[in-house]
Amino acid sequence: MTTPTGDNSLIDPGVARSLAAAVPRSYWLDQADAPEPLPALAGSVTADLAVIGGGFTGLWTALLARERYPHLDVVLLEAKTVGWAASGRNGGFCSASLTHGIGNGLERFPDEMPLLEKLGEQNLREIGEAVARYGIDCDFQPTGELALAAEDWQLDGLDEEAVAARHFGHDVEVLDAAGARAELSSPRWTGGLKYTTGNAMLEPGRLAWGLLRACLAAGVRVYEHTQVTALTPAAGQAGMRLRTPYGSVRAGKVALAAGVPGGSLLRRVGAYVVPVWDYVLMTEPLSAAQLDSLGWRDRRGASDLGGQFHYFRLTRDNRVLWGGYDAVYYNGGRIREEHASRPETYRKLAEQFFTVFPQLEGVSFSHAWGGVIDTCSRFCAFFGTAHAGRVAYAAGYTGLGVGATRFGAQVLLDKLQNEESERARLTLVNSRPVPFPPEPLRSAVIQATRASIARADRNAGRRDLWLRTLDRLGLGFDS
């Protein structure tokens, strides 16, 4: 039964009801015990290291700087509040992968993959250790994850993926339809993969707030509502000058950890990253019977295997987070706050949710939100320096940065301190992605790619000429 809406499309009344009370805020940040904002920087200060950005990259950079080099005086400047951007809006999948999956890594860094996988596993282990050491209550659960096929064509290549993953030491099982449904009950699954290693689930907002507390306890000076508006060499002396609305910082070194907006401070960053919006729904807590109907006993985070894919997980109070599918690039690439909410995507996501989990009919969504993914053409982070090595930057995590940002922070410090290590010598660390063309070609290329991925999903995964060309150029991505 459907009801006509003003724009001539049809909306199921159950879907409409499910969304009616959803507040347009990240559930992770919409918590009664959210920290009070810290005062903005007023006046001029100096520091050995200034970190721009209070997402995971910046927070880990500041904290690890104090751990690795206790003599350094560190300042962190955040334009709004710590964790308000991607770091507080994501799915909370903390993957060991530094390359956005083994397939993407093998494609781009085949010789380095054994080391990259080893460093990624070490990074994930050290995140768990830091969470325990600093007493961060972010429900860190090393569950592994499920990759589930919703169409027969999505089963193609799963055996090969499992072989490659086992080669790198992962514990992975290929599931048939019954096996997949036993892990998480849905009539849609035709099979999948069950990883018991390589991923932890966590609450991203609480991780950001916990890292903030750890930074403050370690002596980092953190200023919120302090946007850096200019980054220039300091006059007549070594170091950099950072201009802010009510003051300035003179710093010996600068770590630029600002995601896509970092491009406005350093043009070379802007050439490589584009803002792609991703949207998320969160349900009310499920009843015991509803939870039971899912059979989601091991509580592994999950995603499906479409080109336009969903990711989904349970929270500690038994809500279901359901996100992904529409990855939206707004022509021109300006980041506007009004894009943080997109009812047409929420509607699509809700319809798909009830198709995958018909047993949850009647469940409502409490929150719906969007966030910016800093997307680059190689789908994993890139790094570099500017201003004669006084500035180092990291960006381009492309939707898999909850874990990789800590690795990125280590790289930033290696670069700023001229450290020699196997990590510092990696091609992944020293090469950059293919830049995006300037607008308006940039919008045309990205929209063509989005349309082709959607077409491939409708066409049993067959990639059209455009996607095959991107694949040949090393610019293609298959989730």
Ligand X SMILES: Cc1cc2nc3c(=O)[nH]c(=O)nc-3n(C[C@H](O)[C@H](O)[C@H](O)COP(=O)(O)OP(=O)(O)OC[C@H]3O[C@@H](n4cnc5c(N)ncnc54)[C@H](O)[C@@H]3O)c2cc1C
Interacting residue ranges for ligand X, rule: CB under 6 A? 52-58, 77-80, 84-87, 89-93, 95, 227-228, 257-259, 261, 265, 278, 280, 323, 371-373, 397, 399-403, 405
- Identify the CA nearest to 43 among candidates 180, 346, 248, 335: 248
Cβ 465 to ligand X, closest distance in Å? 30
Q: CB-wise, 252 or 261, nearer to ligand X?
A: 261
At CA 438, angle to CA 436 and CA 439, rounded to 5?
115
Task: Tell me the CA distances in angstroms from 112 to 108, 171, 226, one per residue in order.
Answer: 9, 21, 39
Cβ 409 to ligand X, closest distance in Å? 9
Question: Burial of 421 by CB count in 10 Å (0-12 exposed, 13-18 middle, 19+ buried)?
Answer: exposed
Q: CB-wise, 165 or 381, nearer to ligand X?
A: 381
Tokens standing for residue 426: 């990696």
Locate tokens 């989601």: which residue? 296
Q: CB-wise, 90 or 449, nearer to ligand X?
A: 90
Q: CB-wise, 56 or 209, nearer to ligand X?
A: 56
Q: CB-wise, 89 or 415, nearer to ligand X?
A: 89
Cβ 31 to ligand X, closest distance in Å? 17
Q: CB-wise, 53 or 210, nearer to ligand X?
A: 53
Question: Burial of 100 by CB count in 10 Å (0-12 exposed, 13-18 middle, 19+ buried)?
Answer: buried
Tokens standing for residue 401: 């940065």
Share in percent of the chain as helix, strand, coil (round to 5): 35, 25, 40
88 DSSP 8-state letter: G
Q: CB-wise, 51 or 155, nearer to ligand X?
A: 51
Locate tokens 């290693």: which residue? 197
Cβ 459 to ligand X, closest distance in Å? 27
Cβ 472 to ligand X, closest distance in Å? 27
Cβ 399 to ligand X, closest distance in Å? 5
- The CB density around residue 426, as the number of other CB atoms within 10 Å, is 18
- Dihedral of CA 95/96/102/108: which sign? positive
Cβ 468 to ligand X, closest distance in Å? 28
User: 370 with 326: CB under 8 angstroms?
Assistant: no
Q: CB-wise, 54 or 384, nearer to ligand X?
A: 54
Distance between CA 413 and CA 240 in Å, rounded?
16
Cβ 393 to ligand X, closest distance in Å? 10
Locate tokens 């589930």: which residue? 148
